Chains A and B, each alone.
Chain A
Amino acid sequence: MKTTLLVTAALVAQLALGLPGTAGRLTTILLPMVFVIGPPLLREERRWPHYAFALGLAWDLLLEPVVGPGTIAWSASAVAISLVVPLVADRSPRAWVVFGALAAACFILVRHLTLLPLGLAADLTWAYLLSSVVLTSLWCGLVGWLIALDLPSRWRSHRARKLR
């Protein structure tokens, strides 16, 4: 339930920012990407790539002109990450940055390839690709850093020290 709310919030925030590829630099960021690279890095259950389909369908319904390309792109990113993550032992925020960049690049390329035969693909520029990859990886790195900080336990420790 908490994850569903978080995903919904991320999609609403993405909707507020705008569809990737539209005007504005922040629109290139892929906010829901943390829900694709998060589960494998946090050693969650292995069925999480299936949930990427649900994420993609929601993405398509809210942000894409047709249903399909977004679902394919999100599930492709999830599958790519599922293949790569077991090869790396690092689970630090730096891994979040790297896998976020990898997943973002995979998402953009696959989405472009799926839109291309439909005649809906916009021009894919290096600037857009680089911007999206960097911003999304930084966003993932931020989330990974926050998770690594473990703020709830720190807050509970701080309250415990003050109560003493």
Chain B
Amino acid sequence: MTDRRILLLRTALLWILLELLAAAQVRSSSGDPVLWGWTRAAVAPLIWAGTTVGSSIAQIATVVTRSAELASLNRQLELELEAARTMRRIIDEDRAAQRELGSLIARLPEISSTAVPARTVFRDLERGLMIVELGGGRRIDRDSPAVASGGVVGRVIRSEGRRCWIELVTHPVAAIAVQTPDGRVQALAVGSRAGELELQFVPRTAELLRGDELVTSGADGIYPPGLPVGRVSSVRESAEAFLDIRAEPAADLATNRVVLLLDDRTVAAPVWSQTR
């Protein structure tokens, strides 16, 4: 920067100071120094801007706070709605369970007076296990059969309080003595990990076709005779002396909500009603 420019800058700065000095000496019509009016005029936009920005920030903060409150309220309402939906599902399940129980009792009119209804609370099809909960405080004996609306579900293997553990018919170690409804073919139905039943000891000469119904024969001493167990799904001949037969469980083990525990097995049950 040349000396001349420096001189001009200093001079201009001095002029500004002198003008401010003059403004401090002169009084306006209101009696205040003109400099005070200039200062107010210069500061007013800053004050206005500060006030506006502050007001805007306050409004934004209010909006943010309100939004947070609304978000919290919305979340609470969502939770309440979800709880209401869950409650509705439970109620629907209860109604469906009641319908299913009604249907089940209608199929077993003779034993329904002695059977104990129980609600399914847990099931593990791969392990072949189901847990049911009784309505009352009645104790259920071990090996009591459990039937659903479709047919045999399994047998009680443990009972504690209101809960009973049921070994499903598809459990690998479960075995049920079955026969065709006319009694021409008898076999032992054992569970498999595939969720199917394997019929063992069915001779090659047996007249058994795909779709044939299987019911309990009562030979095992656990299940009363005449309860539906399953339906033949495949019949194959093998190199062994017996046929390789598989069957699907009659009861829908994956969806049943209610079971009847046949505590009094003295009542015969060839009275299984086919009404649906």
Contact = CB atoms under 8 A, between A and B. Distances in A.
Interface string B21-36: 1110110100000100
What are the 6 closest A-B residue pairs judged by CB atoms, nearest first? A68-B22, A68-B18, A66-B25, A66-B22, A118-B26, A72-B15
A75 B11 contact: yes
Interface of chain B: mostly helix, strand, loop or mixed? helix
B57 interface: no
Contacts of B7: 49, 79
Contacts, number: 45
A79 B9 CA distance: 11
Contact of B18 (A49, A65, A71, A117): A71
A117 B11 contact: no
Contacts of A67: 18, 21-22, 25
Contact of B15 (A65, A76, A120): A76
Interface in A107-149: 114, 117-120
B15 A75 contact: yes
B14 interface: yes
B94 interface: no
Interface in B1-48: 7-8, 11, 14-15, 18-19, 21-23, 25-26, 28, 34, 38
A53 interface: yes
Contacts of A53: 14
A54 to B, nearest CB: 12
A69 interface: yes
Interface in B32-75: 34, 38
Contacts of B15: 72, 75-76
B2 to A, nearest CB: 13
Contact of B22 (A49, A75, A118): A118
A117 B24 CA distance: 12
Interface of B: 7-8, 11, 14-15, 18-19, 21-23, 25-26, 28, 34, 38
A132 to B, nearest CB: 21
A39 to B, nearest CB: 15
Given A67-B21, A68-B22, A114-B19, A119 B14 contact: no
Interface string A1-19: 0000000000000000000
Nearest to A56: B18
A119 B8 contact: no
11 contacts: A53-B14, A67-B25, A68-B18, A68-B22, A69-B19, A72-B18, A75-B15, A76-B15, A79-B7, A117-B19, A117-B23
Nearest to A52: B11
Contact of B28 (A66, A79, A119): A119
Given A65-B26, A69-B19, A119-B34, 19 more contacts: A49-B7, A49-B11, A53-B14, A66-B22, A66-B25, A67-B21, A68-B18, A69-B18, A69-B22, A71-B18, A72-B15, A72-B18, A79-B11, A117-B19, A117-B38, A118-B23, A118-B34, A119-B28, A120-B26
Nearest to B16: A72
B225 to A, nearest CB: 119
Contact of B19 (A49, A65, A72, A79): A72
Nearest to B38: A117
Contacts of B21: 67-68
Interface string A39-77: 000000000010001000000000001111101100110
Contacts of B26: 65-66, 118-120
A47 B7 CA distance: 10
A100 B38 CA distance: 35
A79 B15 CA distance: 12
A51 B127 CA distance: 110
Contacts of B23: 68, 117-118
Contacts of B14: 53, 75
Contacts of A79: 7-8, 11
Nearest to B10: A50
A65 B23 CA distance: 12
A120 B34 CA distance: 11
A79 B8 CA distance: 8
